[in-house]
Amino acid sequence: MTLRVLVVGCGNMGRSHARAYQTLDGFELAGLVSRGDSREELSQELGGVQTFGDWKQALAEARPEVVSINTYPGTHAEIARASLEAGCHLFVEKPLAETVAQAQSIVDLAVEKQRKVVVGYILRVHPAWQKFIEVAQTLGKPLVMRMNLNQQSRGPEWKTHKNLMDSMSPIVDCGVHYVDVMCQMTRATPVRVSAIGARLTEELQPGMYNYGQLQVSFDDGSVGWYEAGWGPMMSEVAYFVKDVVGPMGCASIVEKGAGSSSDVGSHTQTSTLRVHSSERDADGEFVEPDQDLDTTDEPDHGELCKREQEVLLRAIRDDLDLSDHLADAVNSLRIVLAADQAFREGRTVDL
């Protein structure tokens, strides 16, 4: 069975996923949708795929079995619901929607229509990040999780970030990835969240901020923070921190030879996973040296996108149960939106 896929949004992620569909047996590109010239450029690269300027027209005329949603978050819910109503399976880039209610309505509709929905949590298909989570679960409880991804954006990158901030802040848009990782590491229930933030430019719409840090506490005593800032003013120093500490030691992603913070490919790279044990001898000296796990053979960004689509293909063909995946997607969105609320209201939010 070959599934016809309509790719909506031909920016960075849409291009990567379209290339993945083109190379995977089991998918066939039915159309490319974007409002600008990106769809024509991508169509030429992929051999003349049909293009559309309007997703509603494309959904009606291309008649796909799968819709891949790679647009700005503010459009996700409308496109997802229309696609499910048309009987399509979905791939949706994170976050699933702008609100928890919207996200849950998509999940409920997918169940009703018996359609599969995969959300673009790219770190879930990354072997080094899977290992990072696995090691974190051996460090005891509670865990202290420290993560950030700041981006010094310029030119078209800054334009993209400003467009994203028309609907949500960096700690919401990127935070869902890393809060999801924290939830996998702890396997505990988040109980409260707080946040700080700052508006570092007047180029944004009123009320939006381009720097933030959230802090989340779990019912097992674990705590975590995530920091994200976008813009030409952001520092290239310490922009990539991925670190987890427990009673038994710690694990850290060490990105050797990192490129610029705006390089999308570098956002998933690990290079080395350093593991430290806190075990000591009678003199208080560490029993064993730190261990560096080499991850330089990790998949690149394009390969990770391909793996995400392989998950979708297996889910459709084998009728896999995605209820846990979707519950996690809604839960991580709930946490980062609560963090946004905490910053705006200047208080800790109980979950």
What CATH number has the domain bearing residue 158?
3.30.360.10
Domain membership of residue 286 (yes or no) is yes
In this structure, the answer to whether residues 79 and 37 fall within a common structural domain is yes
pLDDT of res. 63? 97
Structural domain includes residue 190 = yes
Confidence of residue 256 (pLDDT cuts 50, 70, 90): low
Strand, coil or helix: 223 = strand
315 located within any domain: no
Residue 267 pLDDT class (50, 70, 90 cuts): very low
User: Is 307 a member of any domain?
Assistant: no
Between 266 and 158, where is the model more confident?
158
Closest CA to 93 of 77, 104, 107, 81: 77
Residue in the block written with tokens 């409260």:
192
Helix, strand, coil percent content, the chain, rounded in steps of 5 = 40, 25, 35
What is the C-alpha to C-alpha distance for residues 247 and 81, in angstroms, rounded to an integer?
45
How many CA atoms lie within 13 Å of 343's alpha carbon, on the beta-carbon side?
26
Q: How far is CA 100 from CA 77, 105, 247, 324, in A?
A: 11, 9, 34, 16
Same domain, 199 and 267: yes
Q: Are 175 and 77 members of one domain?
A: no
**In this structure, are residues 106 and 96 in contact, taking their beta carbons and an 8 Å threshold?**
yes
Rounded-to-integer distance, Cα 7 and Cα 93, Å: 11
Residue 214 DSSP code: E
Question: What percentage of residues in the chain have a pLDDT greater than 70?
Answer: 96
Read off the tokens for 340: 């946004």
Convert the pLDDT of each residue in 289-330 to its tens digit.
999 998 877 899 999 999 999 999 999 999 999 999 999 999
Read off the pLDDT of residues 207-238 as tens digits, 9 standing for 90 and up. Answer: 999 999 999 999 999 999 999 999 999 999 98
**Are 205 and 233 part of one and the same domain?**
yes
Range 36-62 average pLDDT: 96
Whether the per-residue pLDDT at 151 is higher than 70: the answer is yes
**Taking residues 267-286, what's their average pLDDT?**
86
User: What is the C-alpha separation between 229 and 208, in angstroms, rounded?
Assistant: 12
Mean pLDDT of the chain: 94
pLDDT tens by residue, 133-144: 999 999 999 999
CA-based torsion, 70, 99, 184, 84: positive or negative: negative
Question: Interhelix angle for 38-45 vs 12-23, to 10°?
Answer: 20
Which of these three, 97, 115, 133, is where a domain ends? 115
Counting the structural domains of the chain, the total is: 2
Are residues 290 and 275 in contact, defined by beta-carbon separation less than 8 angstroms? yes
Same domain assignment for residues 83 and 137: no
Percent of the chain with pLDDT over 90: 92
Domain residues for the domain of 86 are 3-115
Answer yes or no: is 225 within a domain: yes
In the predicted model, what is the mean pLDDT of residues 3-25?
97
Do 68 and 172 lie in one domain? The reply is no
Sign of the dihedral through C-alpha 299, 301, 303, 306: positive
Model confidence at 105, in pLDDT bands (50, 70, 90)? Answer: very high
Q: Which one, of 192, 275, 179, lies nearest residue 227 by Cα?
A: 179
Considering the domain architecture, whether residues 168 and 139 belong to the same structural domain is answered as yes
Q: Are residues 111 and 135 in the same domain?
A: no
- 324 within some domain: no
In sequence order, which ranges of 63-221 are alpha helices (DSSP H)? 76-85, 100-113, 127-136, 155-164, 170-173, 175-186
* Amino acid (one-letter) located at 349: V
Whether 152 and 293 share a structural domain: yes
Average pLDDT over residues 161-185: 96
Helix (H) or strand (E) holding 307: helix 301-318
Statement: residue 243 has pLDDT above 50: yes
